[in-house]
Chains A and B, each alone.
Chain A
Amino acid sequence: MKSLEELKRIKEQTLKAMDLRQAKDRGKVVVAMGTCGIAAGAKDTLMAVIEELEKANIHDVQVVQSGCMGLCDREPTIEVSMKDQPSVIYGDVDDANARRIVHEHIQGGQVVAELVIRRGNI
């Protein structure tokens, strides 16, 4: 370690690894992990969302899990709530759809209409 630049680089790198512990304010993705959700592949969905956010370098959106949302025949389901926008619940979110939602909705600001189950807060 010979310079402040090097110090800053370590800081940036480590902050990424500590990212889960930071408060995030732009939005939240809730992945339903009830029994049926898991059976339908919600765990893959969860990991896909996290991976895709990381790839897109998005660090101000929190990804959390919840229990069953009660929409068993459209599992896996996720809820995307971005700041100042009504939240959207998506159904049939497999790996590929999860990545699509990250790109189009979270990154692009466009709701993926054909996957929407419900808009607005429950």
Chain B
Amino acid sequence: MFSLLRSMWLVFLHMFHKRETYQYPEERAPLPARWRGRIALTRDPDGGERCVGCYLCAAACPVDCISLQATEDEHGRRYPEFFRINFSRCIFCGFCEEACPTYAIQLLPDFEMAEYNRQNLVYEKENLLINSEGKYPGYNYYRVAGMAIDGKAKGEAEHEEPPVDIKSLLP
């Protein structure tokens, strides 16, 4: 009996507590930097797109919402011809981000993606590609991995180490 009255009193005291609500449209909840929200394709520091069309994100996607077609430009650099994410299927698991070898596909802390028309939830490459380096500023995949050009294979240029032999157990 006493505990009931005590809990009533404690609940009553909550009248004078601060309210926890975020008044959403005016006031936004601070989202952490690694919040898994809208998926975007980022660019490298030079402004070129990072995606190399390796299909790893599409393979990793558990709901198969990513579809792309890789192609090559005149220098042999692979890039996606189209890149399409169906956000009405996407579950924002972040597996695509983990799978991506070039940090191209990233989940950004943004959730305001509601649409009146379901078809509008299918984002094409021009919708996905943002003019930013995302969470990894200054990272350029080919600067780290090296790139074979005519007459020089990987690791043969100046200030380059030979690539790691992934088949060997030795360091």
Do the two chains belong together in a single complex? no
List B residues at the A interface (Cβ < 8 Å): none
